[in-house]
Amino acid sequence: MYGSQAHNIYAQNNAGIESPEKLIVMLYEGVLRFNAQAKKAMKDKEIEKKVYWINRSVAIITELSSILDAKESQISKYLEGLYAYEIQNLSRASMENSVEKIDEVSLVFKGLLDAWRESTNVGY
């Protein structure tokens, strides 16, 4: 699913991470953490912080999309579309100040994280 580009990024940035699989776990967890921060900023009416945290989530999702190996499987093609859709949802969440849309994105990434952990036995 994730090609050699993911491994190259991992190799360049390896800071005590055990495996490329663990890196994906960390990226998914990052989206969840940044979404929670964006949600808090919305509730606190802190527009600049909201935009900052949403942009951080979008950057991670963009990176996840860029390291997919679309030639490898249908799953990669599915994830590419899913990631694009979730980026759109985060953009809408920012424009509409919608905690619900952030929750939707977080729910998707929680599911992806759980599935990734189960399929790779990483992070349990």
pLDDT at 3: 47
Strand, coil or helix: what is 80?
helix
The closest of 30, 28, 16 to 110, measured between CA atoms, is: 28
Amino acid at 4: S
Strand, coil or helix: what is 68?
strand
For 69, residues 6+ apart whose C-beta sits below 8 A from its C-beta are 1, 2, 3, 4, 5, 76
Q: How confident is the model over 45-97, as pLDDT tens digits?
A: 999 999 999 999 999 999 999 988 867 688 888 999 999 999 999 999 999 99
Mean pLDDT of the chain: 88
Greatest CA separation for the chain: 44
pLDDT at 52: 98
Residue 27 CB-half CA count within 13 A:
22
User: How far is Cα 34 from Cα 13, in angstroms, rounded to an integer?
Assistant: 20
Parse the chain into domains and list their residue ranges. Answer: 4-120
| Secondary-structure class of domain 4-120 per CATH | mainly alpha
Strand, coil or helix: what is 45?
coil
